[in-house]
Chains A and B, each alone.
Chain A
Amino acid sequence: MLDNKISFTLNGKKVEFIGDPLRRLIDTLREDFGLTGVKEGCGEGECGACSVIKDGKLVTSCIIPMGSVAGSDIWTIEGIRDTELGAIIIEAFADGGAVQCGFCIPGMVLASYVLLSEKTNPSELEIREAISGNICRCTGYDLIVESIRLADSRRRGV
Chain B
Amino acid sequence: MRDLVRINSLKEAFSKNGILLAGGTEVLRLNSPLKKDMPLIDILPFLSDEIRKDGEKLSIGSAATFASILSCPYSPEYLKEAVSYMPSPQLRNQATIGGNIASWRDDSYLIPTLSASGAVLFVLNQDGKEERIPIMEYCKKGGIILSVSIRGDEKVRNFREGLTSHSHAVVTASFSSKSECYAIKGSGIFFSLEQAEFCSDMYGRAEYKSYLASLYRKESGRA
Contacts and interface: CB of A to CB of B under 8 A. Distances in A.
Contacts of A51: 90
Contact of B4 (A3, A43, A44, A58): A3
Contacts, number: 80
Contacts of A42: 30
Interface string B26-37: 001111100000
Interface in B24-69: 24-25, 28-32, 40, 42, 44, 67
B88 A22 contact: no
Contact of A133 (B4, B7, B89): B89
Contact of A48 (B1, B44, B88, B94): B88
B23 to A, nearest CB: 9
B200 interface: no
A106 interface: no
B93 A59 contact: yes
A138 B3 CA distance: 39
Contacts of B2: 22
B6 interface: yes
B1 A20 contact: yes
B6 A1 contact: yes
A135 B164 CA distance: 13
A132 B165 contact: yes
A44 B24 contact: no
A48 B4 contact: no
B67 A57 contact: yes
Contact of A65 (B24, B30, B165, B166): B24
B91 interface: yes
Contacts of A65: 4, 21, 24, 28, 40
A147 interface: no
Given A2-B6, A68-B24, A68-B44, A111 B30 contact: no
A58 B23 CA distance: 14
A64 B3 contact: no
A21 to B, nearest CB: 4
A57 B31 CA distance: 25
A129 B94 contact: no
A59 B4 contact: no
Contacts of A1: 5-8
Contacts of B128: none
A45 B4 contact: no
B3 A67 contact: no
23 contacts: A20-B1, A22-B2, A22-B40, A44-B32, A45-B25, A45-B88, A46-B88, A48-B90, A54-B93, A58-B89, A58-B90, A58-B93, A60-B90, A60-B91, A60-B94, A62-B30, A63-B28, A63-B94, A65-B4, A65-B40, A132-B88, A133-B88, A133-B90
Listed from nearest, the 9 A-B pairs whose CB atoms lie closest are: A133-B88, A44-B29, A44-B30, A21-B4, A43-B30, A63-B28, A133-B90, A57-B93, A67-B4
